[in-house]
């Protein structure tokens, strides 16, 4: 029946003929629980066995012969140290010699009088025609289609001991069910889904496959978009504290800034300040390239919240960054009467601070997840900011939402990131987010020059530059991959690296920093670096995000190939934060040419462009998937397929206009639950 859930699809795999409890347990391990899980397991490729050639019609080139084999022989040639297996492939029109090199098992695996498909090259060699190293498939292993000559065959990716042929046979048993799979989406032509699923498993041609994929990609994208739209609706049912905008207050802070806001900062701030006025919680992403000045925009929003008499919280991914933010906000907002405090693991007299947060004495709490994991209670939290949001998971966000102490109220939420979400993802998975983009850097910045050097080029091209920069009193980051020597790994280690550098730059003040150090120690070193008391800071990626030392103009990244594109871009963003020209040196070991990742980074400093490149090179599963339990592995759809995306978007709107759809489409609604988790801002 149309639009209705068909219980068969969601029944367990044991309902399939030939799948017993033992097989079921094995299948469960691979994530196949229901019949539907299996039906949505698609072939990796296809082979067209219909294009067989009769032996009498053979011409040189790739051929498929449907025939039998006789006169199998394996000979060892001592002179060439070779096994040669030969046989005679024949059909009703003639015979041809087949030959395999070093595959002696061939002569044993064939059965006489069985029909096989032989796929290989038919060539003139050593004075006669032969079929060279053909691959073979037993004709019985290919289920018979309506066509006499077998046909167009799917090839499934193997799962452990379950090979392609196992899947083929299993689907053969499900053939009738697949042909009548009920519709999933009420807004497409009835039967389209069943046709697509049938054609992806039992196609007659590549055309069939293409048509099937078109629908199935659409279905996936539709589900993603619907999930994110439903999240948006749910969010809009929550209540939030409206925080009034007051032009006079905002001007007061803007006038106190040591610089003029860029136009892009103004526009982004405006979006946010308007959102804060609403009685539904803001769910906004502020994306701006590294150094574009997101912090000050968040300060404007915090000030509006303060003036409305409510508390705000700012979450940062590292203690170093939290410490820096607390300092910045104290400088900016302290003089206007705002009480800002830092809460991290290393904070002393925590109980006392927490009591002051609970009583409402503290206006702004800046910290790491200590804010949410500990028993921190707010008196009236109305606004939360998550800096570098890609580092936070769903759970943390949920906990933050609970901080208002009332399930129907949520704080306004602002996430800030320098790893922009490509447009196509904004429309699909992150469709429930409002997005503001700071698209320009403050004036007077000179672009960062990036150069890839191998270790031998370092001497001539790197050391002289660094010596000169240190003479000019500019500072250097030196980034290494690992803290400790890990056995055979060649990755550099900070301590050793610092010692080496001390030999090369005897006059320089060199210190090192890594994640396992105590927070106090880290802070102390960071502060001295900020104050210009350290020339070269050798560090792991603990300085990756957010750290702002405008006088540091040079960054050297060792083992650059071992970092991802987004991470390298973030690291590079530690320099180029002042008016002096900056350099980023990507050091590669070995002589292999640099990867596309590094070349793209050398060419561009545009984070938005690089995010698109990253999406193409790695796919969304890699970038956003690890953080989101790998749900993001789309089977067929491509998130760069803008045509399908915009069609699905329109259709989702149509779907939502009729509330009955949600009640009718039970299977669809249960399907999109798994997507819903990941589409919320996290
Ligand atoms: P990010 O967007 O990477 O978080 P920050 O907020 O850390 O960037 O800002 C980078 C630097 O730029 C800081 O030193 C900040 O004081 C400075 N800055 C921010 N906005 C402006 C501006 N409009 N003009 C000049 N400098 C600015
Ligand atoms: Mg920042």
When pLDDT is cut at 50, 70 and 90, the band that residue 520 belongs to is: confident
Residue 213 and residue 200 in contact, taking contact as beta carbons nearer than 8 Å:
yes
What is the structure's pLDDT at 27? 93
Q: Is the CB of 30 under 6 A from ligand 1?
A: no
What is the structure's pLDDT at 366? 96
Q: Is the CB of 544 under 6 A from ligand 1?
A: no
- Tell me the best of 254, 442, 546, 571 to mutate to test the pocket of ligand 1, counting ligand atoms within 8 Å of each CB and taking the most: 442
What is the structure's pLDDT at 633? 56
Averaged pLDDT, 330-354: 93
Quick: pLDDT tens for 11-28: 888 888 888 999 999 999
CA of 101 to the centre of ligand 1 (A): 67
Per-residue tokens: 79: 């002179």
Averaged pLDDT, 163-191: 89
3 state DSSP class of 588: strand
Q: Is the CB of 286 under 6 A from ligand 1?
A: no
Of these ranges, 329-343, 398-412, 517-531, the one predicted with the greatest mean pLDDT is 329-343
Quick: pLDDT tens for 75-133: 888 777 788 999 999 999 999 999 998 888 888 888 888 888 898 899 888 788 899 98
* Angstrom distance (rounded) from CA 366 to CA 388: 14
- Give the ligand at the shortest distance from the Cα of 299: 1
Residue closest via CA to ligand 1's atom 12 equals 293
What is the structure's pLDDT at 641? 77
What is the structure's pLDDT at 17? 81
Instruction: Go through the chain and tell me how many residues it has.
Output: 682
Buried-exposed string 73-95: b where 16+ CB fall within 10 A, e elsewhere: ebeeeeeeeebbbbbebbbeeeb
Res 146 pLDDT > 90: no
CA of 301 to the centre of ligand 1 (A): 16
Which ligand 1 atom is the nearest neighbour of the CA of 573? 3
Q: Which residue has the higher pLDDT, 681 or 98?
A: 98
Residue closest via CA to ligand 1's atom 18 equals 293
Residue 340 and residue 290 in contact, taking contact as beta carbons nearer than 8 Å:
no
- Tell me the best of 263, 285, 291 to mutate to test the pocket of ligand 1, counting ligand atoms within 8 Å of each CB and taking the most: 291
Tell me the C-alpha to C-alpha distance, in Å, between residue 339 and each of 302, 343, 443, 626. 11, 13, 31, 37
Eight-class DSSP state of 80: T
- Tell me the best of 285, 293, 329 to mutate to test the pocket of ligand 1, counting ligand atoms within 8 Å of each CB and taking the most: 293
Q: Is the CB of 594 under 6 A from ligand 1?
A: no
- To the nearest whole percent, how much of the chain has pLDDT over 90? 43
CA of 413 to the centre of ligand 1 (A): 21
What is the structure's pLDDT at 160? 87
Res 280 pLDDT > 50: yes
CA of 257 to the centre of ligand 2 (A): 17
When pLDDT is cut at 50, 70 and 90, the band that residue 469 belongs to is: very high
Which ligand 1 atom is the nearest neighbour of the CA of 577? 11
When pLDDT is cut at 50, 70 and 90, the band that residue 407 belongs to is: low
- Tell me the best of 267, 287, 295, 366 to mutate to test the pocket of ligand 1, counting ligand atoms within 8 Å of each CB and taking the most: 295
Q: Which residue has the higher pLDDT, 431 or 158?
A: 158
CA of 242 to the centre of ligand 1 (A): 28
Q: What is the CATH number of domain 448-604?
A: 3.40.50.300
What is the structure's pLDDT at 666? 86
Q: Is the CB of 298 under 6 A from ligand 1?
A: no
CA of 566 to the centre of ligand 2 (A): 15
* Angstrom distance (rounded) from CA 101 to CA 470: 65
Residue 439 and residue 594 in contact, taking contact as beta carbons nearer than 8 Å:
no
Averaged pLDDT, 444-452: 88
Per-residue tokens: 182: 């009920």
What is the structure's pLDDT at 392? 43
Q: Is the CB of 295 under 6 A from ligand 1?
A: yes
- Give the ligand at the shortest distance from the Cα of 287: 1
Bridge partner list, 99: 86, 132
When pLDDT is cut at 50, 70 and 90, the band that residue 402 belongs to is: low
* Angstrom distance (rounded) from CA 669 to CA 220: 13
Same fold, 50-142 and 448-604: no
* Angstrom distance (rounded) from CA 664 to CA 502: 71
Residue 262 and residue 442 in contact, taking contact as beta carbons nearer than 8 Å:
yes
Quick: pLDDT tens for 28-74: 999 899 999 999 999 988 877 778 899 999 999 989 899 999 999 98
What is the structure's pLDDT at 655? 95
- The residues spanned by each domain of the chain are 1-46+146-181, 50-142, 247-277+293-417, 448-604
Tell me the C-alpha to C-alpha distance, in Å, between residue 479 and each of 34, 103, 498, 512, 560. 48, 51, 11, 10, 9
Q: Is the CB of 403 under 6 A from ligand 1?
A: no
Q: Is the CB of 292 under 6 A from ligand 1?
A: yes
Q: Is the CB of 294 under 6 A from ligand 1?
A: yes
Which ligand 1 atom is the nearest neighbour of the CA of 444? 25
Q: Is the CB of 548 under 6 A from ligand 1?
A: yes
Q: Which residue has the higher pLDDT, 421 or 575?
A: 575
Q: What is the CATH number of domain 50-142?
A: 2.40.50.140
Q: Which of 205-219, 297-311, 540-554 has the lowest mean pLDDT?
A: 540-554
Tell me the C-alpha to C-alpha distance, in Å, between residue 508 and each of 463, 504, 505, 535, 547. 12, 9, 5, 6, 22
What is the structure's pLDDT at 557? 95
CA of 246 to the centre of ligand 2 (A): 26
Q: Is the CB of 607 under 6 A from ligand 1?
A: no
CA of 335 to the centre of ligand 1 (A): 19
Residue with tokens 């589409």: 679
Q: Which residue has the higher pLDDT, 346 or 486?
A: 346
CATH 3.40.50.300 fits 247-277+293-417, yes or no: yes
Residue closest via CA to ligand 1's atom 10 equals 291
Per-residue tokens: 630: 């790998």
CA dihedral 87, 88, 89, 90 (to 10 degrees): -160
Q: What is the average pLDDT value for the chain, to the nearest integer?
A: 85
Q: Is the CB of 576 under 6 A from ligand 1?
A: no
CA of 417 to the centre of ligand 2 (A): 7
Averaged pLDDT, 192-202: 95
Res 546 pLDDT > 50: yes
Which ligand 1 atom is the nearest neighbour of the CA of 261? 23
Q: Which residue has the higher pLDDT, 392 or 181?
A: 181
Res 547 pLDDT > 90: no
Quick: pLDDT tens for 212-268: 999 999 999 899 889 888 877 877 788 899 999 999 999 999 999 999 999 999 999
- To the nearest whole percent, how much of the chain has pLDDT over 70? 87
CA of 297 to the centre of ligand 1 (A): 9
Q: Is the CB of 331 under 6 A from ligand 1?
A: no
List, as one string, the DSSP characters of 507-521: TS-EEEE-TTS-HHH
Residue 119 and residue 46 in contact, taking contact as beta carbons nearer than 8 Å:
no
Q: Which of 399-408, 413-422, 642-651 has the lowest mean pLDDT?
A: 399-408
What is the structure's pLDDT at 396? 54
Which ligand 1 atom is the nearest neighbour of the CA of 297? 6
């Amino acid at each position: 029946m149309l639009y209705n859930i068909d219980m068969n699809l969601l029944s367990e795999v044991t309902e399939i003929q030939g799948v017993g409890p033992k097989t079921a347990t094995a299948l469960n391990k691979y994530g196949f629980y229901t019949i539907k899980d299996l039906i949505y397991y698609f072939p990796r490729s296809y082979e067209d066995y219909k294009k067989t050639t009769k032996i009498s019609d053979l011409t040189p080139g790739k051929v498929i012969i449907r025939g039998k084999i006789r006169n199998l022989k394996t000979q060892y040639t001592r002179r060439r140290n070779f096994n040669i297996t030969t046989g005679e492939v024949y059909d009703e029109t003639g015979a041809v010699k087949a030959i395999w090199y070093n595959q002696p098992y061939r002569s044993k695996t064939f059965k006489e009088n069985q029909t096989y498909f032989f796929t290989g090259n038919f060539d003139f060699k050593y004075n006669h025609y032969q079929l060279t190293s053909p691959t073979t498939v037993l004709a019985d292993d290919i289920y018979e289609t309506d066509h006499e000559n077998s046909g167009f065959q799917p090839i499934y990716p193997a799962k452990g001991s379950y090979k392609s042929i196992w899947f083929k046979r299993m689907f053969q048993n499900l053939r009738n069910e697949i042909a009548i799979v009920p519709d999933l989406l009420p807004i497409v032509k009835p039967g389209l889904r069943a046709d697509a699923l049938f054609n992806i498993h039992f196609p007659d041609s590549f055309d069939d496959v293409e048509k099937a994929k078109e629908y199935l990609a659409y279905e996936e994208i539709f589900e993603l978009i619907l999930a994110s739209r439903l999240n948006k609706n749910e969010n809009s049912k929550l209540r939030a504290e409206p925080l009034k905008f007051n032009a006079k207050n905002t001007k007061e802070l803007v006038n106190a800034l040591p610089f003029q806001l860029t136009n892009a900062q103004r526009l982004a701030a405006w979006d946010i300040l308007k959102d804060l006025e609403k009685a539904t919680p803001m769910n906004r992403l502020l994306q701006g390239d590294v150094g574009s000045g997101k912090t000050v925009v968040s300060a404007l929003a915090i000030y509006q919240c303060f003036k409305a008499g409510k508390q705000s919280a700012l979450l940062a991914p590292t203690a170093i960054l939290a410490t820096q933010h607390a300092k910045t906000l104290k400088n900016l907002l302290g003089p206007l009467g705002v009480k800002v405090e830092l809460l991290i693991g290393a904070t002393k007299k925590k109980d006392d601070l927490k009591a002051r947060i609970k009583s409402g004495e503290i206006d702004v709490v800046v910290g790491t997840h200590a804010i949410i994991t500990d028993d921190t209670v707010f008196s009236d939290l109305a606004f939360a900011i998550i800096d570098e949001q890609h580092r936070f998971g769903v759970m943390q966000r949920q906990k933050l939402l609970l901080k208002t102490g009332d399930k129907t109220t949520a704080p306004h939420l602002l996430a800030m990131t320098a790893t922009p979400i490509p447009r196509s993802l904004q429309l699909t998975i992150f469709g429930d987010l409002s997005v503001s983009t700071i698209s320009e850097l403050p004036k007077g910045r000179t672009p960062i020059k990036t150069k890839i050097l191998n270790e031998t080029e370092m001497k001539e091209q790197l050391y002289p530059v660094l010596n000169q920069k240190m003479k000019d009193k500019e500072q250097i980051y030196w980034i290494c991959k690992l803290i400790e020597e890990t056995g055979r790994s060649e990755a550099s280690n900070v301590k050793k690296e610092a010692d080496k550098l001390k030999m090369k730059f005897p006059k320089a003040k060199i210190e090192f920093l890594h994640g396992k150090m105590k927070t106090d120690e880290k802070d102390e070193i960071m502060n001295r670096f900020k104050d210009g008391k350290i020339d070269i800071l050798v560090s792991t990626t603990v300085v990756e995000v957010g750290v702002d030392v405008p006088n540091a103009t040079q960054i050297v990244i060792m083992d650059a190939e071992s970092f991802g594109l987004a991470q390298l871009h973030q690291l590079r963003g530690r320099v180029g934060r002042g008016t002096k020209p900056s350099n980023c040196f990507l050091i590669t070991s070995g002589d292999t040419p640099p990867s596309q990742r590094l070349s793209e980074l050398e060419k561009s400093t545009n984070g938005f462009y690089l995010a698109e490149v990253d999406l193409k090179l790695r796919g969304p599963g890699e970038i956003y998937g690890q953080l989101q339990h790998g749900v993001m592995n789309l089977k067929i759809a491509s998130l760069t397929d803008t045509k399908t995306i915009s069609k699905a978007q329109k259709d989702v709107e149509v779907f939502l206009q009729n509330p009955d759809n949600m009640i009718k489409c039970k299977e669809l609604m249960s399907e999109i639950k798994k997507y819903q988790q990941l589409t919320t801002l996290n």
